[in-house]
Structure 1
Amino acid sequence: MIESRKPTRVRRLNAEAVAAGHHIIGPAGTEAAEVVETVIETDDYGTPAVVVATLDSGQTLRIATGSQVQVAVDEREVAAGSIPAQDGTPEAVIAHVVSVHPESEHLQGIAERLTRGMNFKSGSNLQDVHDLALSLLVDFADAANARRVCDLLTELPFDGNFGRWKWIEGALALASYLAFDDGDADRADAYSASLRTADDAETDPLKAKLAAAVRQRQLNAPNLYDPEINRAAAAGDTKAEKDWRVVRLTVLLYLRSHGGSETLTADELARRIHNELVAIRAL
């Protein structure tokens, strides 16, 4: 008896997000083949240029960075990984975006916590939403869903609680970059303006002046965690290196949302963010 093929659906994936285990459809629309390894090659200037995917057949596919490919997803896995939530709610948004990535236990774990009922006054819930959006971009190059998740937080006002605000601020910085990268400059500027509302929260003129001076110093000389990243790389600890690079990425996003600084221009930050994303995905 001939075994029937698994029901599948096709979704698009950024080249940098292709990883071992994905079933990629060839350029001629050929049957999906499993990827067993990926390597990112750079051009002569050190900029990531091509993703080389090795298939289970031994053949390789060369895919330009920034482009997209089609991968096959088992619909039964999607159904098994789906999380019930009432339509039109933040929980429904979370359930939808994680259903696109049923293979990720990390995303499913975050979604399971959030879909029990989101509390926007809870710092841990805000952190989960922020981390979900960041993971969608970093690990899956899923910019569209990352932005949808960010928008669960981007309308929340600054209420004076910096513990909660840092996660909203992070979502605004990420959303600003995603809008900028998508060519929507006005939307990117709006997110950045919302992020900076906390900068102007101090009403005492002297305290506000001192806070502005401290903030400018932080923008001009940010901690980009070079020693930590270099130590992890030298030790071959890819998990630690990735964790520190993700922290550095959030700093770069924050700097870009402020329009850069006296030492790092907005264009330079955009370039570094792109390269950091590629470096993280290569680990």
Structure 2
Amino acid sequence: MTHPTASLNYSERQAGSLRTGDLLLLPDAERTAEIVRVDVDNDDFGSPAIVRATLTGGGVLRIAAGSVVLVLDPVPDSPEASPADGAIPAADAAGPGADSPADSGDDSADGGAPGLQLVEHLPDGDGAPAAPGVVVPPRPVAPPVASGPSEADLALIPAADGTPESVVEAAAEAHPDALGVLLLSDRLTKGINTKSGSCLKDLSDLAHELFVVLKDAENALAVADLLNVLPFDGNPGRWASVEASLALASYICRQRGEEERAEVYEKFLRAPDEMETDPFKARINAKVRQRSLNEPNLYDKEIFRAIDNSNPDAEREWRLLRLEALLFLRAHGGSQTIGAPELERRIGNELESVRG
């Protein structure tokens, strides 16, 4: 590090340890100014980020907390060099006119993070000057712990009666004339692989076909539960099918008055939202998630276009996608723009439109 010629009279000091009365070498490396107040701004994690040094004359220097600056050494015969200066009064560290900790209601600049601690160094026994005080950052806030459904929650979901393939076969046998069910069950009965995204999609489609078209809530729940017990594995493609199945199961249970079971499905549905352990990322994800709930894609343009083109098949497909979106919103308890009662009404309208 290159210093000016007069650097022999200066000592390096970490920005976090600056105090009132220090003569700070300015960025032009030619002039010095006395510090009359030191303030520290914390980042979002509560750690010191910026040191604001107020200088004589009213100027303010912003310095990164970890930066090293040059401070003019006191003259040996000056009273400022006395050992008593090793201990830094709390009032001086905050600057003249600043509130004392007892008078201030805020712990930090952001009002929520813990404040900084000023560690004082007293003179040694031989009278030698002690090291200047340093600013000790607070301990970081512990990250949130992701919590999943408990064993009691899992107990509310009935175990499958037989193998997954037998559950699908039973649903198909209950509707021998339903072409959609037969096509899906024919593929699934050959073997269900929960690691296959296409297999999970077929299971979700079968559950929706049973409930939406055939009004068979019992078999729809049985098929959906083959997906509902699968944990989130970090793959958004596979999770989309599980998510749709959970939303459907939650709606069916609420229609049947099984509130506790519906809450379990909704807890499963929100599990990925609670897995982020980084507080900053968790806040950002929550904002993005809330925005998507407040502004859902309900395929209005696509449905109106299909109606204008007199294409009932396309209209039905778009309405099925809208129904899935509404069920997803309902499983989240609604949003800030669409409440639960309004969602119930819209879901009923879509079911009536799709069922014909």
Of the three residues 132, 142, 156, the one matched with 2:216 is 142
1:68-104 deviation line (CA, Å, top 9, x unaligned)? xxxxxxxxxxxxxxxxxxx710000000001111112
1:114 aligns with 2:152: no
Aligned to 2:326: 252
Name the structure 2 match of 1:97. 171
Output the CA distance in 1 between the equivalents of 2:302 and 2:233. 33
Name the structure, 1 or 2, with higher relative contact order (CA <8 Å, separation 6+): 1
In 1, distance between residues paired with 2:179 and 2:346?
Answer: 29
Determine the C-alpha separation between the residues in 2 that align with 1:272 and 1:185. Answer: 20
Residues in 1 aligned to 2:351 and 2:217: alpha-carbon distance in whole angstroms: 12
Of the candidates 221, 240, 246, which is equivalent to residue 172 of structure 1? 246
Give the unaligned 5+ runs of structure 2.
Answer: 1-160
Match of 2:279 in 1: 205
Q: What percent of counterpart residues are identical?
A: 52
Q: CA deviation at 1:207?
A: 1.3
Match of 2:228 in 1: 154
In the alignment, residue 124 of structure 1 is paired with which amino acid?
Answer: S
Alpha-carbon distance, 1:281 to partner? 1.1
- Counterpart CA distance in 2 for 1:176 and 1:154 is 10
Corresponding residue number in structure 1 for 2:259:
185
What is the root-mean-square deviation in Å for CA atoms of aligned residues?
1.0
2:206 aligned partner: 132
TM-score normalised according to structure 1 size: 0.68
Question: What is the number of equivalent residue pairs in this alignment?
Answer: 196
Deviations 1:39-96 (A, max 9, x none): xxxxxxxxxxxxxxxxxxxxxxxxxxxxxxxxxxxxxxxxxxxxxxxx7100000000
Distance in 2 between residues matched to 1:270 and 1:202, nearest whole Å: 31
Q: In structure 1, what residue type is equivalent to 2:301?
A: P
Which ranges of structure 1 fall in alignment gaps of 5 or more residues?
1-86
CA–CA separation in structure 2 for the residues paired with 1:270 and 1:186: 18
Q: Which amino acid aligns with 1:179?
A: C
SS at match of 1:207: helix
Matches of 2:355 and 2:322 in 1, distance apart?
Answer: 14
Q: CA deviation at 1:215?
A: 0.6
Query: For residue 171 of structure 1, what is the amino acid of its counterpart?
Result: S
1:219 matched residue in structure 2: 293
Between Structure 1 and Structure 2, the one with more helix by share is 1
Please name the residue that 1:233 is paired with: 307
Q: Which amino acid aligns with 1:98?
A: A
The residue matched to 2:175 in structure 1 has which SS?
A: coil
Cα distance, 1:105 vs structure 2: 2.1
- Three-state SS of the structure 1 residue aligned to 2:227 is coil
Alignment deviations for residues 133-171 of structure 1 (CA, whole Å, 9 cap, x no partner)? 011111111111111111111111111111111111111
Shift of 1:206: 1.3
1:208-242 residue CA offsets vs partner (Å, 9 max, x unmatched)? 11111011001011111111101111211000000
The higher radius of gyration belongs to 2
Other structure's SS at 2:266 match:
helix
Q: Once superposed, which parts of structure 1, at least 4 consecutive aligned residues long, lie more than 2 Å away? A: none
Give TM-score scaled by structure 2 length.
Answer: 0.54
**1:122 CA displacement:** 0.7
